[in-house]
Structure formats: structure tokens, C-alpha cells
Amino acid sequence: MIIALFWAMIIFVIRPFSSSDDPVTRSEIGSGEVLNVTDPITSSVTVEQLFVAKQSDMCDISVYFDTLGEQKYGKILFTLMSESGRVLAEEKIDVSTLKEKGFYTVSFDKIEESKGRAFSVRMTSTVNDASGGISIWYRAKDDQSNTATVNGDKLGGTLRLKVGYYDSSMQLIRIICWIVLIAASFVFAIFVGDVYEKNFILLAFLLGILTCFYNPFPHVIDEATHFFRSFMISQGDFYDDIYISRIGGNVSANYSSVVDSTLSIRSFYENPGKWLQSFSADKEFYLHPYMSSAIPINHMIAAVAIFVCRLFKLPAVIVILSGRLLTYLFYTIICYFAIKKAKYYKGMFFMIACLPVSIWLAGSYSIDPIVLSSALLYISICLRHFFDESLKLTWKERVALIVSALMVMSVKYLIYSPILLMILLIPRAKFKKKEYPFVWIIAGVMLIGILLWQGYMLNAFPFVEDRNGDVNVSRQIAYVMSNKISTARVFLDYLIDNTLYNIEGFSNSRGLTFISSIVGLMTVFGSVLEPDRYEFGEKDKKKRKLVALSLIILLICTMLIIASLYVGFTPVGTDGVEGIQTRYFLPILIFAMLPLSMIRIKNEIPDYRKKISLLMGIGIMDSLAGMLKQ
């Protein structure tokens, strides 16, 4: 019933099946690499582009202009002509209204029999001085396009134009996507039960997996950066290259033309040729320094999928989706075992793994799902043996502890390394007498090795963040050392102002309804209702040990997260912390939930596990609905 009410609200408010949505599909002419901009267009310059319409009912043309960062004035005289030279549409484009760079659309009465016919776009300007002219981006000519001309001379590339057609097929595709989502949600509601790990698998493969397809690539949180690192690793380059003091890598020559645009269900339908091309064997340097000092371990998961796909020269769309799906599969399997291994507090592991933002990240190239799932498995094994001293620590669990610890540690600046302190909860008796010292030797070697590796990466790739103003790591550290009290005040102020916001954000701000905030709040504060709590005795040392260690890890990791963003992304001396995102706190969220669960509230809600599973499912449905609404 609750699922039906949710969808009734979405359908009534969002109207996903409405026919009023934009029925126009737009496809670019050509799919070659984006090269450069034309010289500024003036009254003495005429740019012309010939193209062949792919569909009937042509109704608009979009041109990619660039003001080169300056305010421009005057008008662009746009003319659309038939092959015979007959004028079909004209418009005077007010240049002062254009953005710095982007598409401007000229609409006209639809041309019904346009498919297969040749047309030309001609543009000139009312501006006489080149300094006041505006430019147009162009891409390399391919087999499907013609070169543009400037005053009759060949430009050597194809103008970036999108041709729009009235087409109801895209509306049908959107409706099918909505139907798939709604149908999957009802199947989940039918089979959901009281076993968390089974509910997680249901959620993951009925609903969560749709994120890989519904969420446009690259999504907004650095997915292009993570994809670049995985792509480099897939071709054997575990580190970036430096070319003329610039950090990046030698990748396929058509890499930028594919990755520097958005892949979505709509964009694939509009420009299938662009996404069905394979990544070329020819290489060229691609500037991309933003993950150069990151240890490459966690990026190797997606790199495997990219390597296999490129080995068989599969299309770019398959390469991109395969990497997403392999990351998602890794996340799902590791989280499943983390939930299954947990004898107590099983609901906490389930809720963190099912948070909409966790699933949203899992269906991408981000390393966040790799780190989160590894952290959950590591914590789950440690708690399992902390609470049940009769259990034997198997060799599989030992391997899992080592591998997951490596995944957790290898994040930039080692901000999650304190999580490894959970090993202190495993009784010493679980290890053989001569074996226990080796546990600490292995841990020490791993930690020192990762520290040295991180130090090497930072030294080898001395990148200064260029996306956020005056950012300089060494100067910021010097500022902190000379302003310790004011810096501490900045950190504390951030925690006071943003704690509740971050808790709500543990759902997904891209959801369509208030459900998202409820899911985030319930995940954290619902810890007091955890039905699978360990029954501590009065003045139980175990309780004090668990609470103390949880709070210590939570505090240290939180400070490391804030400090890393203050040093690495915040302009020097700024009275605030910039760049912090809710997702950074996901791996340590359970350390806030465990102490809260010590509050004694008796949970008498019938079928609580089933109901909380439904709530998490609705949160994911809400997130997916938001993706389809984009």
C-alpha cells in the first residue's frame, strides 16, 4: 500500500507520462574530436556549414557559441537554406544575451520531409571589429560530416551544431523507463521480508542497478576524474604522465570527444554514432591532473572492465557501462557479506549500504563505494568476533580483513586509516600465541607502505588545485601552524553548522520528495530502535570499550576529512571549509550510530525489519525518479 501511495504522489505531482514534455530530439552533426573555436565572426566574415538531416520534421538548430569570457554586443545573422539556396529560416541573435559558452537554439516551423535532404547554415555578424566578434566551436571532420567554410575557404572541421527534430520516440522511451522502475518497486514490495541480507540483494538487483543506466555519465561528483584514472590503469599506466609541466595522460585520440560530453538514455538516442565508436588505438595527451596523487588501488576494479572491453574493441557506451556495473557488483557483493557477517547491529550495516547516496555512488566510477563497502566488511568482521568469543577467526576472514584494510587505507591522505583500530576489538585469544605479533607487523608494514606510497605520489605530482581560487597546500599548512586557535574555531564552526544538514544528506539531495530527508534522519537516529542490539550487562567493560573506540575513530576521521579539504581545496586563510561533501562521512557513519544504539528504547514495532527495508527501498525509488526527471 505504501509503495502505491508513493507512486500515486509522484505521478500526480511529476506527471511522468505527460505528453507536454519536450518532444524534440537533437543530434550533433559529426562526432569528431572537439578542436577549437573559429576566429571571431564580423560583418566581413561569413561562416557556412552544410549538413544532411537524419530525420523528418526538422524544427530547430543549436549553435555552440563562445564569448571567450568577455561581454559581447551586436547581432549574429543566422540563415538556414535549402540545397537550392532557398531561405527557410532567419534570425538575428542578440549576442549580449549569450552565455560565455554554450548552445543557442534557433527554432522554426518544422520541415516535414527533411530526412536525407541537404541544408546549410550561414552566419555573419553586424560587428565590424574582430575584438567584438563572437566565435563558434568546431570539431574534427569525420566520415559523416562536411567541413565548414569561412568566406568560402575550408575550415578543416565541422561546426558544433545540433539539429532538432520533432520525435515522439524519446517520450516513449522515457515512459518505458518509468514503467520499469515502478514495476520493479512493486516486485520488491511483494518479496521483501525480515532478513536484511536478502532484502539488500532484492534492492540491489531490482532497483539499485538501474542507477548504472538512469544516472547520466559522468555524474556531477568527479566521475570523469575517476574514469580517467581507471582508463589510464586499464592501459597499464598506474601513474599519470607529465608533459611540459602539465599533468595528464596519453589516452585514445577520441577520448575527449567521448568523455567531455554527457552519456544518458536521451543523448545515446540522439547521437548513437558518437557512443557506438570504440576508443581509438591512436593516442594523444589529455590534460587531467585532479586525481594524479591518488593511490591507484581502488581504481583497479573498474579498470578491469575497461581493459576487457577495450581488448575486444567494444563501443564506448559498453566500456562506460561495464565499468559502472563491475563497480556496482563489487559494492553489492562486499556489502552483502558485511550484512551477513554481522550478528549484531545488522540493521545498521543494511541501512548504510542502502542509503540512496550510497547506491547512487555505487553505480558510478567513484571509488567511494569501494571504500564504503570495504569499511563495512572490515567493521562487520571485527564486531562479529568482539561479541562472540567462541567463534573461530577463519582464514577467509583474515584475508578479508587484510584486503579491506588495504582498500580503506589507500584513500588520499589516509583519512580513513583510524577505522583499522577496530582490530583492537578482536580478542587476542583468536590468534595463535606466535601469530599475534605478526598481526601488528603486517598492519605496520601496510601502514608505512601506504604512507610512503602517498608521499611519493604527492612529491611526483605536485599539483596545486586550480578549480577553487588561491589554493596552496604548503601555504595553507603554514597558515594553520601560525593560526592554530582560529583554525580550530573554523573546524568547530563547520561541525556546528553542518551536522544536521549532513545527516539529512545521507539520503540523496537529488530525490524528488521529502522522503530523502526522512531516510537520512532515520538511518542515524533510528539506531535507537535497532532490534539486533547486543545485550550489555551493567557496567559492562565491552560497552565502554566499544563506545570509546567508536567515538575516537569518529572524531579523528572527521578531523582528518575536514583538515584534508581545508588544506587541499580551501583558499589560503579562508574563514570556512570548502569542498566537503556528505559522502566523505559514509565510511565512518556507523561510529556515530553505535553509541546512539546504547540508548535503551524498546522496539515493539511489528515487522520492523520489513518496514525499514521498505523505507530504504522508497528512498532509492525517489532517487531514481529524480534521475528520470532530469
CA distance 417 to 447: 8
Considering the chain, what percentage of its residues have pLDDT values greater than 70?
95
The predicted-structure confidence for 55-114, as pLDDT tens digits, reads as follows 999 999 999 999 888 888 899 999 999 999 999 999 999 999 888 888 999 999 999 999
Whole-number pLDDT of residue 256: 87
**Domain at 24-167: CATH code:** 2.60.120
Phi-psi region of 456 (alpha: psi -120 to 50; beta: other; left: phi over 0): alpha
The predicted-structure confidence for 364-423, as pLDDT tens digits, reads as follows 999 999 999 999 999 999 999 999 988 899 999 999 999 999 999 999 889 999 999 999
The predicted-structure confidence for 141-182, as pLDDT tens digits, reads as follows 887 788 999 999 999 899 999 999 998 888 888 899 999 999
The predicted-structure confidence for 206-261, as pLDDT tens digits, reads as follows 999 999 999 999 986 789 999 999 999 999 999 988 888 788 999 998 898 888 88
| pLDDT at residue 122 is higher than 90 | yes
Whole-number pLDDT of residue 506: 58
Whole-number pLDDT of residue 511: 64
| pLDDT at residue 306 is higher than 60 | yes
Average pLDDT, the chain: 89
What mean pLDDT is predicted for residues 131-142? 89
Q: How confident is the model at residue 501 (pLDDT cuts 50, 70, 90)?
A: low
Phi, psi torsion values for 382, nearest 5 degrees: -60, -45
Q: How confident is the model at residue 334 (pLDDT cuts 50, 70, 90)?
A: very high
Whole-number pLDDT of residue 451: 92
* Residue 202: how many other CB atoms lie within 10 Å: 22
Closest C-alpha among 111, 62, 46, 107 to residue 83: 111
Q: How confident is the model at residue 18 (pLDDT cuts 50, 70, 90)?
A: low
Least trusted range by pLDDT, from 75-79, 185-189, 266-270, 338-342: 266-270
Residue 366: DSSP 8-state = -
More confident residue, 484 or 508: 484
Q: Which of 126-135, 172-181, 316-325, 497-506 has the highest mean pLDDT?
A: 316-325
What mean pLDDT is predicted for residues 317-326? 98
What mean pLDDT is predicted for residues 31-35? 78
More confident residue, 506 or 161: 161
Closest C-alpha among 207, 520, 226 to residue 371: 226
| pLDDT at residue 579 is higher than 90 | no
> Residue 574: which residues within 8 A CB-CB, separation 6 or more?
none
Whole-number pLDDT of residue 148: 94
> CB pairs under 8 A, 24+ apart, for 306-309?
306/230, 306/231, 306/234, 307/234, 307/235
The predicted-structure confidence for 478-498, as pLDDT tens digits, reads as follows 888 888 888 888 888 877 776
| pLDDT at residue 510 is higher than 70 | no
| Domain spans of the chain, in order of start | 24-167
| pLDDT at residue 562 is higher than 70 | yes
Task: Give the three cell numbers for residue 431.
Answer: 590468534
| pLDDT at residue 322 is higher than 70 | yes
CA distance 299 to 312: 21
